[in-house]
Amino acid sequence: MLGYYAELCKETKGIVVPAIIVCCKDKKSNVPSDYLTMAMRKFKNIPLPLQRHLKYRANFFSIVCNIWDISERKLMMGGAAGIILYAMRNFWRATKEHLAVIIKKCSKIDRNDAKLLLAGLMSYYEHTDKGLGREEFDRVERDLWPRIREEDRLMPEILLGYDRYFAEGLAKGQAKGLTKGRTEERSAVAIRLLKAGVDESIVRQTTKISKKELTQLKKSL
């Protein structure tokens, strides 16, 4: 971190003030605003020789912002950035109600920005204590707007893209593996849509899967 700070100062030929955004599970967590305090915080009583040595070490200060100190109302006034901060703030205690707020806010910003943002947040939230991942995001959107057209939904398109990038990344340069990856991708998305109660005709239209393949997938559920 200190090396990165020094490189920025060198390139900009100016003063760089780092800003750290903190969102710990413990709301009362205190993050030091300078490098040396953070590095030495595990020592309760720093030996005198080490204290003398520290004055020769480079140090830098940061602006530290604890998300817990910002009201949710203010967070949600910041467009895409506000959605990200809201998602970070509720990471440790995420519920389907929080996902609903995120999806509603995403529906009001540029569609391409919303897709990129939601794809990242789905991956982020899959690692919460409650594991609210892609299936939950898809289910919440359908609960919010059960009657809208399938092509107007955000989640199916994101789910297809997410799986496609993953499959293509694994099978890069291997035509046979790529074809298999795409088949598995469509099957995985079709299964998630079926579990969410989506009509079979819509599942086939969305995933481009054949009627025979869909019948076989239903048997595996």
Over residues 32-79, the pLDDT tens digits come to 887 777 777 767 777 777 777 777 777 777 888 888 888 878 887 778
Lowest mean pLDDT among 65-74, 160-169, 191-200: 160-169
Dist CA 175 CA 178 (whole Å) = 5
Q: What is the CA radius of gyration of the chain?
A: 23
pLDDT at 136: 86
Dist CA 201 CA 190 (whole Å) = 11
State mean pLDDT over 12-26. Answer: 81
Beta-carbon contacts of 43 under 8 Å, excluding residues fewer than 6 positions away, are 50
Which ranges of the chain does DSSP label H, i.e. alpha helix?
2-12, 35-40, 48-54, 72-75, 79-89, 96-106, 111-125, 134-144, 155-170, 175-195, 200-207, 211-220
State mean pLDDT over 86-106. Answer: 88
pLDDT in tens, 103-140: 999 988 888 888 888 888 887 887 777 778 888 888 89
Largest CA-CA distance found in the chain, in angstroms, rounded: 76
Dist CA 198 CA 178 (whole Å) = 27
